[in-house]
Amino acid sequence: MLDLRPVGYIIGLMLAVLGALMTVPMAVDALAGNPNWWAFLESAFISGSAGVFLALTNSNALGRSLTLRQAFLVTVGIWAFLPLFGALPFMLGGPRAGFTDAYFEAVSGITTTGSTVFVGLDDFPPGLNLWRGMLNWTGGLGIAFLAMIFLPVMRVGGMQFFRTEGFDTLGKILPRAADIARSLAQVYAGLTFACLAVYLLVGMTPLDAVVNAMATIATGGFSPSDVSFGKYQGAGEYAGALFMILGSLPYIRYVQLVNGSARPLWRDPQVRAYLRWTLYAVGSVTLWRIATSDMAPEPAFREALFNLVSIISSTGFFSGSFPGWGSYMMAVAFWIGIIGACSGSSAAGLSVFRVQLMGQVVIAQIRRLHAPHRVALVKYDGRSVDEDTLNALVMYIYGYVVTLGVLTVLLTFFGVDMESALFGVWTSIGNIGYGFGPMVARTGTFVDFPDAAKWVMIVAMLMGRLGLLSLFVLVLPRFWRS
């Protein structure tokens, strides 16, 4: 029988940390004289108490090795269970949201999706907007860092957890999980502080700069304003585009860069393709906009750059009139949103790596059709790709397409129009946060979606963050057998 004690112990510790983090926005609201600080105090007490109880009741799991099945459960449990408590501040204070809306917001934050069901963000208590940014930031890579602190206590290297999070390649560079966590944390924090400094320089208020910096580097997209980056037009958009790109590059390359080796970053085929495809998308949409409207070149380029980078990096900020630009923009946005950014970053989507690899599979198959007896190996970056990797690739892309179609149909069943349904699933499964369609256009949020549709989107957000297959594995009866 599957031993759940190590899973409960780790999630309990994580929950206790979540409760401790709630004291930060509590202090911000208290210093601002906002009565919403009481909601954070209650939330911190409930979360911390539940976490300590869960950890203590499962403390006899100390010293036991963590199996791959338990690692899957830890990963899924963190992303699905922690938002239950992360939602408490939205229910106990601020907007006084119902459970569905509060859980939607918390899942959207911690999965770094960035879709929201709240309006009036500019009038939110400062601590509540800070909490939204913190959910993004901890969801980006912070939860992985915190988990890696506790996994050595379980007497496990931690590689199992990182394999389910998509960081297995780091094991070839750094020998121990603690080293991985430390290096990633330094890179993540360094990028966040650099982004914060630039945002302050372009004129953001300290609170806006902190929230936006956390959401940018996490590629999360939670903004403290209803108009998102429309509030910081000009230099703010250029700065945001730069750091969204930096936040969506492979962190493994930053680790190598810090260690004195810049060559792998510039030579990475994934990075080169990502920047090239982004340039193509921005250039084509800019030229199309200039040719079909009376918009001046600079604002056309700036809005196209910021919004398309926001989409391909799966961040979810928006600015200006871009969401209403028309069909060609939506078509380009749809496809780059599916592709996503680089593997090994906090971004989501299929990833440039998978799309490149699938292209190599197609080319190899065409060569086999032309010369049936020819051995056509699939290679990536000069190295042959094994069959297990290719099978996993095909499974993932097949699962992505089927999930996109099935959940879109399900949203229409619950009363969502076709355009809003398709883009609702697209933005959720890709953890993009950006919305299109009649039901989104009124407020720029998903507040008008029925509750049942919001739950479909919650599932899609979790599937997108966990890489689809993690949730599929959990529903197999074989997984739960000894």
Please give the annotated binding residues for K(+), written as ranges: 112-113, 220, 315, 431
What's the one-letter identity of residue 217?
Answer: I
Tokens of 339: 């592709």
- Please give the C-alpha separations between residue 459 and each of 58, 143, 352, 407, 467, in angstroms, as whole numbers: 28, 19, 23, 9, 12
- Let me know: does 22 contact 43? Beta carbons within 8 Å: yes
- Please give the C-alpha separations between residue 24 and each of 95, 106, 189, 197, in angstroms, as whole numbers: 19, 17, 17, 20
- Please give the C-alpha separations between residue 465 and each of 393, 394, 429, in angstroms, as whole numbers: 16, 18, 8
What's the one-letter identity of residue 459?
Answer: V
Annotated binding site: 112-113, 220, 315, 431
What DSSP designation does 386 have? P
DSSP β-ladder status, 379-380 and 383-384? antiparallel
What's the one-letter identity of residue 163?
Answer: R
- Let me know: does 13 contact 59? Beta carbons within 8 Å: no
Backbone angles phi, psi at 383, to 5 degrees: -115, 145
What's the one-letter identity of residue 460?
Answer: A
How many CA atoms lie less than 13 Å away from 462 in the CB half-sphere? 23
